[in-house]
Amino acid sequence: MSLLVHKYGGTSVGSPERIKAVAEKVKASVDAGNQVVVVVSAMSGETNRLIALAGEMSKRPEPRELDVLVSTGEQVSMALLCMALSELGQESRSYTGAQAGIRTDMSHNKARITDIDTEKVLADLNKGRVVVIAGFQGINADGDVTTLGRGGSDTSAVAMAAALEADECQIYTDVDGVYTTDPRVVPNARKLAKITFEEMLEMASLGSKVLQIRSVEFAGKYGVALRVLSSFADGDGTLITTDEENPLEQALISGIAFNRDEAQITVLGVPDTPGIAYQIVGPVADANIEVDMIVQNISGDQFTDFTFTVNRTDYERTFEIVSGKAKELGAVDVSGRTDIAKVSVVGVGMRSHAGIASVMFEALAKDAINILMISTSEIKISVVVDEKYLELAVRTLHEAFELSSPVEVV
C-alpha cells in the first residue's frame, strides 16, 4: 500500500464534470490499493473573480482580507470533490489549510509553510478515508488565514507529501509531462520521462509553468518523489527525481526554458563603492519583490551600471523604489523596459561539458538575435533578448541542441 498525494489544479477542477472526473481518478487510485490525500486549487477563473471583487473595493486591498477572500476558492473545490467522492461510495473529509494543520509564517499573500501537524489527516487515512485539502493556504500564529501566493497549491501538495512521508506526490495538470520546451512554440518538443530536481527548478523558475518553483525546491530538499501527469489523459507523465538515481539516461541539455513576464531595470552611473548592490537590491527585496537576474558592469572610472530583472507586474513599483534610492546614491539615471524576454538552456550535463555557451551564442547570432543580458549558473545559461525574438530564439536553440530526439551524452 502506497501513500500518495494527488494535486489537481484549477483547470482540472474547472467544472462540475471535471471535478467528477477527478473523483474517478482518486477512486481508481484508492481501488488500486493506495491511501490518497488530494490537494485542490480553486476552480479556474474563481480566484480571478474574487480578486476582481476585491479590486472593486479598493485599489490596494488589505493583504489580510485578500487572503480571507481568495482562500474561499479552494474551500469550494474541496467540498465539491468530497461530494463527488461520496457519490462514488468513497468516504472522504475536506479540510481547509488551517484544519489540515498547515501552519505558515505571518506574511500575507506570500506566506511560507513553517510546519504541518498531520495528526488529523493520518487519523482519517487510517480510517480508509480520502482526505481532500485546500491548496494555497494555511494559518498563521494569530489564527489568521494566509495564502502562499498564486500557484501555491503545488507547494501545499509537496509540503503535505513531505510531512506525511508519502511515496509520491503526483501533480495532475493540463499537460501530460515536462517537455524539452513549450510544444506551442516548438511543435516537435519531446516529453521527458525523467528530469532532475535541479533541472526542473531551472525549468520552472524560467517559466515552463508546469510546476511552481517553490514546490520543486521543497520536493528536492525533502526528497519527495514528484510526478507531473495529465488529469485528462492516462500516462506516466514525467518523474522528477534525484540526479543519482538514473545517471545513464542523463542528457547534456534537458530543455529550453523561457519567460515572457520579465522587466529590466538599470541604474546607470552609480558610484562603485562596496555595498552598492545591497543598497539597490535591499529595498526591492524589503518590498517583497523577487529579483531574478542581476548583472553588474563597470561603466567608467569609479562608476558602475547595475541591471536586474523583476516580474513584469512588479515593474512600476520597483522602478519607483529604485528611482528614489538611485537619487540618494548619486546615480546618473535609472532606465528600464518591459519588452524583454528570457531564454535559457538547462541541463545537469552542462556541469562537465564546455562549449554549451558557445553553441548557444552561435545559434542566436546566426539568426541575428541580439543578447541584452547574460547570466549563468552550474546547470543553465540564460540570456535576455528583445521580446519579439523570443519564439525564434527558442526554436533555434531547441534545434541547435537537437532536443527533438534524445541527446547522447558526449
Under the rule (CB under 8 A), what is the footprint of a copy of itself? 16, 19-20, 50, 53-54, 56-58, 61-62, 64-66, 68-69, 71-72, 75-76, 78-80, 82-84, 86-87, 93-94, 96, 99, 120, 143-144
Shortest CB 55 distance to a copy of itself, Å:
9
- Smallest distance, Å, CB 38 to a copy of itself? 13
Distances (CA, A) of 81 to 36, 71, 119, 172: 13, 16, 22, 15
Q: Fill in the DSSP letter of residue 349.
A: G
List residues bridging with 267 in a β-sheet: 306, 334
DSSP-derived secondary structure letter, 409 = P
Distance of closest approach, residue 197 Cβ to a copy of itself, in angstroms: 34
Please state the closest distance from residue 95 (CB atom) to a copy of itself, in A: 9
Q: Which three cell numbers stand for residue 296?
A: 553588474
Contact 133, 116 (CB under 8 A): no
Grid coordinates in use for 7? 494535486
Give me the least distance between CB of 290 and a copy of itself, in Å please: 25
Closest contact distance (angstroms) between CB of 125 and a copy of itself is 16
Between 83 and 357, CB nearer to a copy of itself = 83
When the beta carbons of 53 and 365 are compared against a copy of itself, the nearer one is: 53
Go through 147-168 and write b for each residue having 16 or more CB atoms within 10 A of its CB, e for each that does not: bbbbbbbbbbbbbbbbbbebbb
Question: Closest separation between CB of residue 110 and a copy of itself, Å?
Answer: 17
Shorter beta-carbon distance to a copy of itself: residue 42 or 393:
42
Distance from C-alpha of 220 to C-alpha of 214, rounded to nearest angstrom: 10
Phi-psi category of 19—alpha, beta or left, where left has phi over 0 and alpha has psi -120 to 50?
alpha
Nearer to a copy of itself, 139 or 310 (CB): 139
Cβ contact 194:246 at 8 Å: yes
Q: How far is it, in rounded angstroms, from Cα 68 to Cα 140?
A: 12
Classify each residue of 83-106 as buried b or exposed e, where b means 16 or more C-beta atoms within 10 Å of its C-beta. Answer: ebbeeeebebbbbbbbbbbbbbee
Taking the complex as a whole, the smallest distance from the CB of residue 402 to a copy of itself amounts, in Å, to 48
In whole angstroms, how close is the CB of 25 to a copy of itself at the nearest point? 15
Minimum separation from the CB atom of position 102 to a copy of itself (A) = 14
Residue 196 Ramachandran class (φ > 0 left, ψ -120 to 50 alpha, else beta)? beta
**Residue among 81 and 383 whose Cβ is closer to a copy of itself:** 81
Q: Burial, 20: exposed, middle or buried (Cβ in 10 Å; 0-12, 13-18, 19+)?
A: middle
Nearer to a copy of itself, 125 or 239 (CB): 125
Nearer to a copy of itself, 55 or 271 (CB): 55
Shortest separation between residue 328's beta carbon and a copy of itself, angstroms = 31
Nearer to a copy of itself, 139 or 229 (CB): 139
Return the number of the residue (61 or 347) whose C-beta is nearest a copy of itself: 61
- Which residue number, 2 or 86, has a Cβ lying nearer to a copy of itself? 86
Which residues does residue 7 pair with via DSSP β-bridges, in sequence order?
Answer: 39, 171
Residue number with CB closer to a copy of itself (17 or 378): 17
Instruction: Determine the number of helices (DSSP H) and then strands (DSSP E) in the chain.
Output: 11, 20
- In the structure grid, which three cell numbers stand for residue 70, read together? 481568495
User: What is residue 106's three-state secondary structure?
Assistant: coil
Using alpha carbons, list the distances in angstroms from residue 299 to 60, 228, 319, 327: 39, 45, 21, 18
